[in-house]
Amino acid sequence: MSQSTWSTVTHIFGWFSFFIAIWATLTLFVLIEKKSRKEYGGYKNFLRIYCGYAFMFSVVDWLVQPYAVMDVNGSGYVFYSENRLFDLGYTVGHVVQILYCGCFIASSSFLSLNFIYRYISSCHQHCLHFFQGFGLILVVLYCVLPCVIWSFCVYFWLGPTPEKTSYMNVSTMLIEQFDITDKPYVGPLCYHITTTPFHKAGDVEWWAMGSFIGLCGFQVLFYGISMICGILTYRNSMELLKLAQLSKNLYKTQMQLLKAIVIQAVVPLISVYVPPAIMISGSMAGIYMGEIGHWVVMSISIYPPLDSLVFLLSIRDYRNALFCNTKSHKQSDSSQIRPATGKVSVSFPFKVHWFY
């Protein structure tokens, strides 16, 4: 398949992802407002924030219509816009590209925030006030700060320079027949391409390399938080099952929670992180990873609609409304727990904020 054909496939795929993402996020937002039970508590606020993020990411991806080409020498890659409808101009186009990079890292912070809420609602319900009122400011900052920090790095250390444009234009013309002269782009090069009194060609360019190390650190941090919170939540559920005989409804809820945790961890891992990680790792190691750019941009563009669909299909209330399932779901107001060491039954309200 020629590169011009890959470019067209990427362009069409981007439009497909955009329309699916807009439908999924708007549908999810309506269902959040119309079909959410009061037991959702502060998680409803999280879902609202997520809808806003997913909608913005989809629009930014559509405006950029990105394409990526890796340097044939393996020193880095260039990411530019292939918008075929209109020209955003150099300044606006570059700002939107930087915002796209920020949305990329925000996906992992939103994922970890989802797991944090599940852990708190399961094991530390007295801390749920952080997801309501003024506590929402901390929630927003948790997601926004990594986005701002990474965007700062992209603007100052991964942006266009005359030397970088001349160097990367060789790869873009050879692979994609695209001239990046006088066009905005994000072009990280992990190794110097010229010799100066301060460095030699081939030496590590520590600003770009350090930015990538920081990016990897953020990803490891957020995914580590997700794994830890997911494991602790699961263990807490299993302890309840071992120490008591839970009601059938609560047992099903716990199993749905585990299923949702696995799905929401695997989907962004495969869709967002693995393909870009291959290209970034190759750039850091100075190894040419092939013509992987089209896979990278397609995998990222499919993330907003996929993750929104996970919410729509995993949360029972939203799924029933989506498929017009009018069958009422009977749920008792309390769940009977019979301790294994006693005969006394203790009931508690079904407000544990497990609703997957």
Report residue 75 as tokens. Answer: 């020193």
**Mean pLDDT to the nearest integer, 268-276:** 78
Output the CA–CA distances (angstroms, integers) from residue 331 to 130, 289, 314, 348, 349, in the order listed: 28, 53, 18, 13, 11
Which pLDDT value is given to residue 154?
94
Q: By C-alpha distance, which of 346, 264, 278, 347 is closest to 307?
A: 264
Query: Are 106 and 155 in contact, with CB atoms under 8 Å apart?
Result: no
Report residue 132 as tokens. Answer: 């309501």
The whole-angstrom separation of Cα 276 and Cα 299 is: 9
For 23, list phi and psi in degrees, rounded to 5.
-65, -45
pLDDT tens track for 96-149: 999 999 998 888 888 888 888 888 877 787 777 777 777 778 888 898 999 999
- Local confidence band at 231 (pLDDT 50, 70, 90 cut-offs): confident
More confident residue, 224 or 241: 224
**Mean pLDDT to the nearest integer, 181-203:** 91
The whole-angstrom separation of Cα 343 and Cα 45 is: 40
| Residue 186 scores a pLDDT above 50 | yes
Q: For 334, what's the count of Cα atoms within 13 Å in the CB-facing half-sphere?
A: 8
Query: Are 76 and 283 in contact, with CB atoms under 8 Å apart?
Result: yes
Assessment of whether the complete model's pTM goes beyond 0.85: no
pLDDT tens track for 25-73: 999 999 988 888 776 767 787 788 888 899 999 999 999 999 999 999 9
Which pLDDT value is given to residue 333?
40
Q: By C-alpha distance, which of 99, 76, 94 is closest to 188?
A: 76
Which pLDDT value is given to residue 355?
39
**Mean pLDDT to the nearest integer, 292-315:** 86
The whole-angstrom separation of Cα 101 and Cα 160 is: 15
- Local confidence band at 258 (pLDDT 50, 70, 90 cut-offs): low
Residue 351: other Cβ atoms inside 10 A:
15
Q: Is 74 left (phi over 0), alpha (psi -120 to 50) or beta?
A: left
| 3-class secondary-structure state, position 354 | coil
Q: By C-alpha distance, which of 248, 269, 266, 247 is closest to 258?
A: 266
Lowest mean pLDDT among 59-68, 205-214, 304-313, 318-327: 318-327
- Local confidence band at 340 (pLDDT 50, 70, 90 cut-offs): very low
Per DSSP (E only), the strands in the chain are: 66-70, 77-81, 185-186, 334-337, 346-349
**3-323 CATH fold:** Rhopdopsin 7-helix transmembrane proteins (1.20.1070)
The whole-angstrom separation of Cα 324 and Cα 279 is: 43
Query: Containing H/E element for 246?
Result: none
Report residue 313 as tokens. Answer: 């299909």
Q: Tell me how many degrees the CA angle 307-313-315 measures, rounded to the nearest 5.
A: 100
